[in-house]
Every structure is written in C-alpha cells, then in structure tokens.
Amino acid sequence: MYANVFANVCNLILLFFDMKKEITTLKMLAQNLNLSISTVSRALNDHPDISDDTKIKVKNLAKSMNYIPNIFAKGFRKHKSNIIGIIVPNITHYFTATIVRGILEEASKQGYRVIISESNNDVIKQNEMLNTMIQFGVDGILASLTKMTKDIDNILPIIDTLPFILFDKVSDKIPCTQITINDEEAAFNVVEHLINIGKKRIAIIKEREFSYNSEKRYAGYLKALKEHQIEIDEKIILSVDDISLQHGKRMANILLSIKNRPDAIFAITDSAAVGVIQTLNKFNIKIPEDIAVVGFSNSKYSTIIEPKLTTVDQPGNTIGKTATKYLIKEIENDNTNDIATSKTVEVKTQLIIRESTFKIS
Amino acid sequence: MYANVFANVCNLILLFFDMKKEITTLKMLAQNLNLSISTVSRALNDHPDISDDTKIKVKNLAKSMNYIPNIFAKGFRKHKSNIIGIIVPNITHYFTATIVRGILEEASKQGYRVIISESNNDVIKQNEMLNTMIQFGVDGILASLTKMTKDIDNILPIIDTLPFILFDKVSDKIPCTQITINDEEAAFNVVEHLINIGKKRIAIIKEREFSYNSEKRYAGYLKALKEHQIEIDEKIILSVDDISLQHGKRMANILLSIKNRPDAIFAITDSAAVGVIQTLNKFNIKIPEDIAVVGFSNSKYSTIIEPKLTTVDQPGNTIGKTATKYLIKEIENDNTNDIATSKTVEVKTQLIIRESTFKIS
DNA sequence: TATTTGTACGCAAACGTTTTCGCAAACGTT
DNA sequence: AACGTTTGCGAAAACGTTTGCGTACAAATA
C-alpha cells in the first residue's frame, strides 16, 4: 500500500519536472564516454576490434547505468528473437509438463525464451498456431504433434522455413530431427517381463493405427511374443480411438467377458491401466496373481492406485532438454532442416516394477 | 522425403537466380499501388483518414502478396510486444496446468502470445525470471508466487513499471489486482460438510504460516468450528513445511497415535489427503465411518484413490482466463498498477462430495 | 626512408513500421 | 467571392541496434 502511494508520488514528481524515466541506450553510454555508438555496441559484444581498456570502461558504465539492450531494435536488426515456440497437444498431461519443464530449463540456460501453445489435438488449431508463431518471429519450433499424423501437409512447408524439431509425438513422414522414447523397445521389455513372471496370455489395449507411439508399442508387443513363441490372439488385442481411463474400464470388461481370459493386460497408457485395475478390483480379481497389469508413463497415478502399477518411466526432462539442444544448434548454425543433419534420437526408458506384476510367489 | 527434396531444389533455383525469398513489406505494397508507405500503413490499420476505396485495395493486395507485418519493427516503434509473461512455481501440477491453459486460450483469443517460466518455488530464480521477462519486453506479467511470500521487495518496484497481476498464490502485501479462489469460504464449506455428516473432532493438516492459501483455509476451518461451537484442539491442528503425499502419511500416523483420535481429517491439499487415505487403509480404518477425509483441488488423484476423495474443485480455467482479461485490460489502458483499478477477484469453488465422506448411513 | 600491416575507432546506412506535420483539393457557409 | 472546414494522402523523422567501410595512427617490414 504505502509503497504504491510512494511510487505514485514519485511519478507525479517526475511528471512535474518533465523527467521521463529514461531508458539507457547505446547513445547515452556513448555520450558519457565520448565514444561513438558503434564502438560502444562492439565493446558490449566483445568485438575483436575494440581494446580491452575500452571494453571494460563501457561494460562498467553499462552496468552502472543499468543498460538493457532494446530487444526489439536488436531483433529488428538481426532478424533474431531468441524466442522458441513450442506446441503440445495437452499441457495438463504430467508427462508433457515434465518435457516442457526440461525445455524451459535448457532454453533459459542458453538465453532463449519459450512461448507455448496448446493444440488440444486439433489439427486446424495446430496449423494456426504454427503460423502465428512464425508471424511472431520465433527462431525455431519444437512440436509434439496431434494424434492425427495424417495431416502433415501444412507442416512440410514450414520445416524448410525455419528450424523445426519434433518430440514425443513424432512422425516419420516429416523429414526433420525427432526426439522420442524407444517405444518399441520399452514395450518389448514390458511384455518380456510379463512372460518372465509366467504369463502366457497377454492382452494389449492400444490406440488405432493413426497413433505413431501406439503402433510402435504394439510392434514391441508383437516382437516379444514372437521371440518367445507365444501365439498371437487377435481377440485380446484391443484398439480404442481415445485411450483414457473410461476406455480402460470398458476394455477390461470386454476382456473379462471372453471365454479364454488373458492372464495379463498391457495398457499402453497409465490412465487406461488405472481403469483396468479399478475394474478388476470391482470384480475381486487378484492382481497380479489372476491378471497382471502394466501401464505406460510412470505417471503419478501409478503409485496411487492399489495395487501400485508396474509401468514404463519416460524421462520427460531429458527429452525436453535434448530437443532444445538440437533446436538451438540448428538455429545458431542456420541449418533450416537439412536432411544431412536430421537425426532420430531415442531416449532410454526404464521399466518400473511394482505390485501389479510383482507379487508372484 | 520427396517434398523436402523438392523444396531443396527450389531453394537451389532461387539461389541460382539470386532471388531471395523476399518478405513483403509496406514499401512493396506501396510501390505496387502507387501509394505512399504511410497511406498503406494507415489503410491496414483502419485509420479514419483513409478512404474506404483505398483501404479495400490495400487490404486485398496485402492478402494476395501474403503480407505479414514485421513484428520487430512494430514492437520497436510502438514499444509493444503483444507478449505476456507468466511465472508459476511448478508447471507439472495439474491445477497449475489448467490455469495455464486458461491463460493460453484467453491470450491467444486477444492476439497475445505467452512466455512461461517456472520458479520451482525458488525466490532467487523468480526474481531473475521477472527481470529477464522485462528485458524481453513483455507487455505485462501474470505471476503465481513462491510460497515464501515474505520476499516481495523485488516485486514492488516491478508493479510500478508494467502491468502485473497475481493469481492463485497471491499476497495481500503486494498492491495489484489479484485473482484467487475463495479459500476461506471453501474451507468453511468443507468443515461444515464434515460437521453436517456428524463429525465432531475434525483435524486439519496445513502448511506453516508463510503460505497465504494455507492460512486462508485455516481461517475458514476455525470459523466453521466456532460457528458450530466446536472447541478447537491444537493437538489435531498439524502444520508441515511442504504439504506432500509423504507428509500426509506422516501426519496421519501422528493423528492415529494420539489418545483421542479425530473422526475427520481435512488435508488442505489432495496429495496430502491421498497420503492420509493410504495410511488409514494400511491400518484398516474405515473411511468415512471411522475417519472421514477431505482434500483440496479436485486433482486427478481424487478419483483414483480408494475410497474416492471428497475435495474442493478449483476452476483453473476460469482463474487463468479472468487473470488474463484483467491483465490485457491494464495493458491496453496503460494503467500500470493503479490503486484505483486494483481489485481482488475471488473465483467460486465447489465442494465435490465423494466416498471419503459420503457413505455415512 | 618508404611501404606494408595491424590496431582501434568513427561515420553512416539500414532494418520496417508508425506518426507528426503539412498540404492540396473539395466542400460548405456566409 | 471569400472564407473556413473536411477529406485524403505524402514526406520525413524517429525508434535503437548492428555492420560495412573508411581512416588515422602506430608498429613492423623492406
């Protein structure tokens, strides 16, 4: 309160004497030191043409006069904003949020700001956001796609315009560097773990074909079964449009109703797995003795549900950081998506074994 | 793949003919129409001095030439970035994420971008971020404070510099408009609900004094007890530094160990409440018959834990949206935090009754 | 001594937009 | 006819920074 009143009084005084709260510019520094603006600019940017003496003088004065470079003038001149744009489908997902955190950390460490948009899995919105981001002069874009990877026509023109990197929800149809987890290997490990604890009839709840991650995990599932010579039964391979807790419940009911019940259920998402567990609990089916359950993500839910859920930990922080590192490298080398430099980086996951598969004696 | 190859070929051709992929500017539009740059600018900005005829001509050409105003030049000239900064302690909290979503929606609707920073409840970091945001020329700042509201000295100078609004974790020591939930009333309703279902000895697990929200909720707790003439027992009023699931467990153990056990526990956070429930479950204590439990936030956990948790729903989306609305209003009226316009807006919450208090017969 | 090389700095243009001021023509009023 | 007012537009400055080029002086080389 008092502080505000005081500040207002100050403003009045400033107004009275017609003193604008002046922002220090290069010009003012130059005048103060009897140097030219260009010399001051170069001194601050450590240009080799400038002697150490003057560099020190300039920098000291700049500090004492609280000089802040005008970001607009700079960006205007250099066509660089030091802002990177990021697009995610849903920022409220815990895993997504951890990736965002990784991005924020790395970006801020390297002197970049981050502007965020949410696509809500809406392709139209996603494209709008890409465009407005470019309009806003971001130096590069980090994106996690909507599930409908089919619609990539609007993305292809972009990747030749400015640095563009995909993470998490990627697509092999877009030629740019991609940071993702080793979905296939992770799923393989899940299924192998189930086999190792003696399960022989392993169901999977996955998404339909359009989902890149889901297909990869499904591939891992198939590979593990084949490698262990377990026959594949399509009756216990279930696909849903939107993998959620509700659908997890529905699918669990379906699996319970078939004559030859599975002895394990691999839901490719933690929330679906939670739905499965809740349903099994309702019918007093013993987990993991009767049916074991595995999820994917190591979300917070996995330790809250009873029994605690075996799942796959995805290091969101690492994904965010590496994606950002690659993007900034591309920005600063001015490679707008060169095929030669495009990489696919797979970040290691870890199987977290908990009660939903462990209590086998 | 092919698209990329094609684009590369295009670039080669462009290079060969020394055609830079020119970005259309006002100048180019002006030349094309035999008008001055100023007229074109005014036409696009719907300046009254310009005839409708030329406005239409200009706008049409602008569209067909795919004119995008240079954001840097604009910001440079107008000292306006159309970017707002937001600072939150922890973006991975579901409730925080929903607020962020609300902010993103409203901001994008009004033509603003959002840059985000995470303070991780670190006051030093928070101040750094505030400063770099200002450096980056944001038009205003939306902040949710760290828990240590004591350290506000660095914030006071800022609020006179540019529009600044607090949300969720606010502080009445900072004179600016604040958007928050009605913590006190919400807690009051919680406790009254517990009383209504017959509970007479209601414990609370809260944070220490530094936490603004916690103190408000505690005030509501006290008020409800007083109003119903229930005596206050300090032995069942527990404070922790950091309200988490682990501490919820610890506090539950403490409450179970005292001679005169409570018959209800109000944890001022869902995660703590989950810890409480897990502990009660471990000891086979009947919820809610023996001890009822209430949390706060309506997080995802509350429907996953068994029994499902009674809690308070906080409309994050609404908070985010209203905060953004007020901020943009301040930005566009150029009121940098005027006492006269400062408001405290309280968003209504809703008590969600679930099994952890409901099954009383 | 004459020439080259290197060092340290200044001049001025340029980036694209907005905006103040000014001006001419057209119009309206006495 | 003489005067103001309005309408529609242009010229040019300004915002703060970077950068290519020029240059003066000193040092090094021939």
Of B7, B76, B115, the CB nearest to A72: B76
The reply to whether domains B2-69 and B78-181+317-348 share a CATH topology is no
Distance from CA of A232 to the nearest CA of B (A): 32
How do residues A278-301 score in pLDDT, each as one tens digit? 999 999 999 999 999 999 999 999
Query: B306: closest CA among B334, B283, B280?
Result: B280
Decide if A141 contacts A162 (C-beta within 8 A).
Answer: yes
B70 CA – C21 C1', rounded, Å? 25
How do residues A183-233 score in pLDDT, each as one tens digit? 999 999 999 999 999 999 999 999 987 788 999 999 999 999 999 999 999
Q: Does domain B78-181+317-348 have CATH number 3.40.50.10860?
A: no
pLDDT tens string, chain B, 361 residues long: the values are 343 344 344 444 444 444 445 789 999 999 999 999 999 999 999 999 999 999 999 999 999 999 999 999 999 999 999 999 999 999 999 999 999 999 999 999 999 999 999 999 898 999 889 988 988 889 999 999 987 666 678 888 888 888 999 999 998 889 999 999 999 999 999 999 999 999 999 999 999 877 889 999 999 999 999 999 999 999 999 999 989 999 999 999 999 999 999 999 999 999 999 999 999 999 999 999 999 999 999 999 999 999 999 999 999 999 999 999 999 999 988 666 666 678 899 999 999 999 999 864 5
Residues linked to residue B167 through DSSP beta bridges, in sequence order: B179
Distance from CA of A47 to the nearest CA of B (A): 22
**What is the share, in percent, of chain A residues with pLDDT greater than 70?**
90
Strand D contact at CB of residue A63, distance < 7 A: no
Distance from CA of A71 to the nearest CA of B (A): 6
Which residue's structure tokens are 């595995």? Answer: A294
Decide if A162 contacts A187 (C-beta within 8 A).
Answer: no
The contacts of residue A84 (CB under 8 Å, 6+ apart) are: A107, A112, A113, A114, A115, A138, A139, A140, A141, A142, A324, A327, A328, A331
User: Which residue stretches of B139-261 are H helix?
Assistant: 156-159, 183-196, 212-227, 245-257
- Rg for chain A, CA atoms, rounded: 27
Residue A361 has pLDDT above 90, yes or no: no
Helices (H) and strands (E) in chain A, counts: 14, 12
pLDDT at A255: 97
How do residues A6-36 score in pLDDT, each as one tens digit? 444 444 444 444 444 578 999 999 999 999 9
Four-point Cα dihedral B99, B103, B105, B106, nearest 10: 130
- The domain ranges of chain A are 2-69, 78-181+317-346, 183-313+351-358
Structure tokens at B177: 């408009």
Decide if A175 contacts B4 (C-beta within 8 A).
Answer: yes
- Which sign does the torsion angle of CA A129, A132, A136, A141 carry? positive
By C-alpha to C1' distance, C18 is nearest to: B77
Nucleotides of chain D touched by protein CB (<7 A): 7-20
Nearest nucleotide to the CA of A49, by C1', is C8
B76 CA – C7 C1', rounded, Å? 35
What architecture (CATH level 2) is domain B183-313+351-358? 3-Layer(aba) Sandwich (3.40)
pLDDT at A73: 94
Distance from CA of B179 to the nearest CA of A (A): 18
CB pair distance less than 8 Å for A108 and B117: yes
CA distance to A95, A96, B179, B245, per residue, from A300 (Å): 10, 13, 28, 11
Four-point Cα dihedral B220, B222, B227, B228, nearest 10: 110
- Which sign does the torsion angle of CA A42, A43, A44, A45 carry? positive
A88 CA – C19 C1', rounded, Å? 40
Nearest nucleotide to the CA of A36, by C1', is C10
Per DSSP, A340 falls in state: G
CA distance to A65, A107, A156, per residue, from A338 (Å): 43, 22, 13
The contacts of residue A45 (CB under 8 Å, 6+ apart) are: none
* CATH fold label, B2-69: 434 Repressor (Amino-terminal Domain) (1.10.260)
CB pair distance less than 8 Å for A115 and B83: yes
Strand D contact at CB of residue A32, distance < 7 A: no
Strand C contact at CB of residue B31, distance < 7 A: no
CA distance to A1, A8, A9, A135, B337, per residue, from A5 (Å): 6, 5, 6, 40, 11
Pairwise CA distance, residues B255 & B239, whole Å: 12
Pairwise CA distance, residues A263 & A139, whole Å: 51
CB pair distance less than 8 Å for B137 and A7: no
Three-class secondary structure of residue A319 per DSSP: helix
Residues from chain A contacting residue B101 (CB–CB below 8 Å): 91-92, 118
Decide if B332 contacts B339 (C-beta within 8 A).
Answer: no
Pairwise CA distance, residues B320 & A282, whole Å: 38
A26 CA – C20 C1', rounded, Å? 25
**What's the CATH code, domain A78-181+317-346?**
3.40.50.2300
How many Cβ atoms from other residues are within 10 Å of residue A83's Cβ? 23
Decide if B226 contacts B218 (C-beta within 8 A).
Answer: no
CB pair distance less than 8 Å for A116 and B114: yes
B77 CA – D24 C1', rounded, Å? 37
Pairwise CA distance, residues B326 & B148, whole Å: 25
Of B97, B113, B118, the CB nearest to A115: B113
- Which sign does the torsion angle of CA B293, B299, B304, B310 carry? positive
Residues from chain A contacting residue B163 (CB–CB below 8 Å): none
Residues from chain B contacting residue A115 (CB–CB below 8 Å): 83, 113-116
CB pair distance less than 8 Å for B337 and A4: yes
Quickly list DSSP for A75-128: HHHHT---EEEEEES-TTSHHHHHHHHHHHHHHHHTT-EEEEEE-TT-HHHHHH
Nucleotides of chain C touched by protein CB (<7 A): 7-20, 22
Peptide bond into B315 cis (omega under 30): no
Pairwise CA distance, residues A178 & A332, whole Å: 18
Decide if A280 contacts A287 (C-beta within 8 A).
Answer: yes
Strand C contact at CB of residue A49, distance < 7 A: yes
Q: Which helix (H) or strand (E) holds B270?
A: helix B270-282
How many Cβ atoms from other residues are within 10 Å of residue B301's Cβ? 24
Residue B192: left (phi > 0), alpha (psi -120 to 50), or beta?
A: alpha
CB pair distance less than 8 Å for A72 and B137: yes
Decide if B238 contacts B204 (C-beta within 8 A).
Answer: yes
Interface mutation vs chain A, best among B116, B276, B303, most A CBs within 10 Å: B116
pLDDT at A359: 65
Pairwise CA distance, residues A20 & B179, whole Å: 31
Three-class secondary structure of residue B172 per DSSP: coil
Residues from chain B contacting residue A7 (CB–CB below 8 Å): 160
B36 CA – C22 C1', rounded, Å? 15
